[in-house]
């Protein structure tokens, strides 16, 4: 099967080639993102492989259909960047990697919490300059703190289990409550109760019309004063301008994000010699109590192995006419 792989980075090529046994699939790599302006690169291919910041809207799908593309395979879990209705209308199948390493993202969320709390990123820079002062480095114990988890799918479940191990009181919100987590001590609450009682809130839910800007000015007014907010899910769960206001007035005590609502213009690129045109992220980076990582929560060997294996399986199943285990449907 001939496949156009978009938004390619060196690790994509390394891991996909590693598991493309006997070169069964003809993988052609493009650094360009897939959008309405780059569909011409997929001429002569049967399928495309895309990532989180490719823009597969109705116009792009229409162009893909006209050049004969029959499958869009996302090498990620999220699919909010694909117009599923348009794909269905054009009889183009959409598949994804629903679970690769929940622990990878969950552990990264914990890393953000610990770094923000104990300020290890600041200490690292201080010590390199021979500054061994403890001034302004006071943190807090995680033990017995209340951690609110929004979304208890596979990643949220892994995160809950880690925080229980720290001795935290874990409360959660999800439309589908986990009996397993309840047995382990997780208590489900309403969103308003979670906002009010959590010292730390971690987001592990998908982005959809109901969750977009879940955290806006109204929500920030409900959270505990000085609470920490962690987002390793999707950037647009948080309205950045409102988060900035909450940080400025001190109501939001800490913010750790591995995703950002305008990240497609920034993340996965080296912009160290460029003038950043995004004023919101520039403002976020100016806060001492904000930590930003560039969508690296998934970036472990184990996760990349599984992403490549599942991505290639999706192609093989489609090619052989087998049921698409990881198909995304409306």
From 13, 65, 16, select the one nearest 39 (Cα to Cα): 65
- The values of phi and psi at residue 137, to 5°, are -115, 15
Enter the DSSP assignment of 229.
Answer: E
Burial class of residue 147, CB neighbours in 10 A (0-12, 13-18, 19+): buried
- H or E stretch at 310: helix 301-319
Q: Is there a catalytic annotation at residue 135? A: no
Q: Residue 148, SS3? A: strand
**Annotated catalytic residue within 263, 282, 302, 325:** 263
**Annotated catalytic residue within 108, 234, 261, 264:** 234
Enter the DSSP assignment of 34.
Answer: P
Q: Is there a catalytic annotation at residue 234? A: yes
Q: Is 295 left (phi over 0), alpha (psi -120 to 50) or beta?
A: left
Output the DSSP codes for 241-277: HHHHHHHHTTSEEEEEES--TTGGGTTTS--TTS---
**Annotated catalytic residue within 75, 96, 108, 295:** 295
Q: Is there a catalytic annotation at residue 121? A: no
Catalytic residues: 234, 263, 295
């Amino acid at each position: 099967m001939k496949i156009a792989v978009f938004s390619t980075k060196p690790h994509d090529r390394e891991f996909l080639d590693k598991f493309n046994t006997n070169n069964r699939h003809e993988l052609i790599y493009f650094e360009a993102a897939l959008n309405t302006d780059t569909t011409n690169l997929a001429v002569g291919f049967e399928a495309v492989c895309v990532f989180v910041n490719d823009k597969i809207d109705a116009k792009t799908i229409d162009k893909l259909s006209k050049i004969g593309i029959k499958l869009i395979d996302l090498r990620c879990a999220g699919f909010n960047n694909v117009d599923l209705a348009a794909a269905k209308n054009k009889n183009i199948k959409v598949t994804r990697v629903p679970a690769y390493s929940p622990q990878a993202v969950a552990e990264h969320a914990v890393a953000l919490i610990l770094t923000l709390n104990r300020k290890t990123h600041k200490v690292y820079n201080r010590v390199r300059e021979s500054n061994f002062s403890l001034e302004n480095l006071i943190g807090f114990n995680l033990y017995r703190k209340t951690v609110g988890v929004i979304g208890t799918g596979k990643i949220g479940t892994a995160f809950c289990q880690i925080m229980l191990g720290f001795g935290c009181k874990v409360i959660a919100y999800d439309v589908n409550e986990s009996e397993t987590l309840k047995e382990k001590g997780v208590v489900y609450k309403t969103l308003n109760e979670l906002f009010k009682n959590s010292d730390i809130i971690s987001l592990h839910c998908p982005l959809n019309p109901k969750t977009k800007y879940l955290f806006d000015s109204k929500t920030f007014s409900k959270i505990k004063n000085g609470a920490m907010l962690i987002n390793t899910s999707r950037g647009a769960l948080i309205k950045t301008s409102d988060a900035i206001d909450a940080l400025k007035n001190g109501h939001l005590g800490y913010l750790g994000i591995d995703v950002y609502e305008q990240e497609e213009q920034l993340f996965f690129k080296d912009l160290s010699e460029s003038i950043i045109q995004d004023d919101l992220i520039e403002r976020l980076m100016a806060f001492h109590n904000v930590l930003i990582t560039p969508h690296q929560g998934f970036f472990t060997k184990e996760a990349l192995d599984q992403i490549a294996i599942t991505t290639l399986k999706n192609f093989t199943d489609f090619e052989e006419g087998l049921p698409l285990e990881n198909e995304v449907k409306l």
